[in-house]
Structure 1
């Protein structure tokens, strides 16, 4: 593993790291903020999964999470959104597919199946690497994400019951198997058999019996993708039928950007901290 950068912030350390991934068969980069408490003991960790066109860096630069994460004693782990490299298959003119748009799934279709294995990368390889290299308490994990990353956070939590103490999302793609900007990607990654898509669709996973204890969603009412791509009411209905405790905040006038995310980042951090057993400064 290579250290790309380390910068002190709020008494903690913001790092960026690169490693050769056996899962994605390319070099992968991730960001990790360690709060000052990590110098004394392992700390709980919040995963943040980014959205379409993003890398690990977007939330690191614009998410405004470090001050409160340092106060609470929670690490924030930010993976990339897809495999990278000159040899990785891509559609450079399609921002909804390929590099930057891995959808946190394991592709089964050529030529993407070799590298686009973000589900296994997140849940296995990066988890094991982070646990080995950093002072993280992997018995206390939480997960969140934005847009495509919100989709990823919810589906990963649903498919790994008990692993995450809490789950949240900013403007998640609630039902990617029918959304205009994600359905074509699922078909290219997973094939034309739509039954295979269910394994990466939050509402359909819930319909098929997968459960999480709680879920927090923030969604802007001025989000230009709300009605075609995101549709949180579908997830709200699925949670209601399944008895999943969902808090859905429709934020008046907010859009899809990091201005929206950074506005409500503190609320998500405190919400996760309470469920991770971090009680100081969570009111």
Structure 2
């Protein structure tokens, strides 16, 4: 799959680059950012860590604010950060709300109405973006991890659970743990895939753990700030904690006193998350 370079920057002895490409999954153009650590310039085939961003974010947000490049450089990890939704699809209402439509793809495949043509972010991340990584990034396709924040934390957990053949490591910052039971999730799922809750459960991390075969278990790291303004109404980490205790799922859920939902919180614990993935992916 061909890609077009938009811009490039030097960063921590490596390279930050932003690209665009045509996507069959969304029937339009998508953008993504990549951090190539210095090891990439030596021709080494490196593991890949894909980051999924939260509501209102784009392909630049994490790579500007997350502070992850220094740790990716240390461990020799390629960072990939796709946009959060299609842009300019021309669907009526796509720009009306900050938590639905543009910037809010929820990493699922829409099946309802006009959204079904463009809002297929699950297929984009697991198929089209995978093709780009394979064809253009000189990556080790057998060593991939996924992580994310908020809506992207939901995406990282659910896609990581559903595609274990792709993702060998998973972590999340303040994820929407059970979108079936929160206003953000109910709004997105109703709009994109309809009202059938049995379908919603196919995109709910808590329900996926409940149905998962123990042979597919892998350690998952989640950090959650206790001063997060969305903690109880939208994120519901207690549901993730509860299902892990019930099933024996290997979850490390860390509650961080005084931290909110912002990138300041993420930046603080980013080193731990990169190290979690580096260990699982066999980095130096």
TM over 0.5: yes
Q: 1:87 to 1:93 in 2, by over 3 A?
A: closer
- The answer (yes or no) to whether the contact 1:89–1:112 under 8 Å persists in 2 is no
**Secondary structure, aligned partner of 1:16:** strand
- 1:178 matched residue in structure 2: 181
> Which residue matches 1:19?
21
Aligned 8 A contact 1:96 1:181 in 2: yes
Cα separation, partners in 2 of 1:222 and 1:163, compared to 1, 3 Å = same
Following superposition, the deviation at residue 88 of structure 1 comes to 4.1
Instruction: Check 1:256–1:110 CA distance in 2 against 1; reply closer, same or farther (3 A cut).
Output: same
Distance in 2 (alpha carbons) for counterparts of 1:183 and 1:190: 10
Which of 215, 224, 229 is the equivalent residue of 1:219?
224
Residues 80 and 89 of structure 1, relative CA distance in 2, 3 Å threshold: farther
Deviation at 1:4, TM superposition (A): 0.4
The question of 1:57 aligning with 2:79 is answered no
Residue 113 of structure 1 deviates from its aligned partner by 0.3
Alignment of 1:208-247 (within 5 A): 208-209=211-212, 211-247=216-252
- Is the 2:28–2:89 Cα contact (8 Å) retained in structure 1? no
Task: Tell me the CA shift for residue 163 of structure 1.
Answer: 2.5
Mapped to 2, the partners of 1:77 and 1:219 lie a distance apart of: 23
Structure 2 unaligned spans of 5+: none
User: Aligned runs of 1:96-245 on 2, under 5 Å?
Assistant: 96-209=99-212, 211-245=216-250
Alignment partners' CA distance in 1, 2:32 and 2:48: 14
Equivalence for 1:8: 10
Is 1:87 matched with 2:90? yes
Matched, 1:278 2:283: yes
* Cα drift, residue 20 of structure 1: 1.1
User: d(CA) in 2 for partners of 1:262 and 1:9?
Assistant: 17
Q: Secondary structure at the match of 2:202?
A: helix
CA distance in 1, matches of 2:93, 2:74: 40
1:271 shift after superposition: 1.1
Separation in 2, partners of 1:244, 1:252 = 24
CA distance in 2, matches of 1:27, 1:78: 15
Bigger drift between 65-74 and 206-215 goes to 206-215
Distance, in Å, in 1 between the alignment partners of 2:19 and 2:218 is: 32
Q: What is the TM-score of this pair, normalised by structure 2? A: 0.95
Output the aligned Cα RMSD. Answer: 1.2
Partners of 2:22 and 2:209 in 1: CA distance: 34
**2:195 and 2:262 mapped to 1: Cα distance?**
32
Q: Deviations over 1:12-53 (max 9, x none)?
A: 110000011111011100001011111221100111000001
Instruction: Provide the TM-score with structure 1 as the length reference.
Output: 0.96
Aligned residue pair count? 279
Give secondary structure in 2 for the equivalent of 1:113.
helix
Match of 2:44 among 34, 41, 48: 41
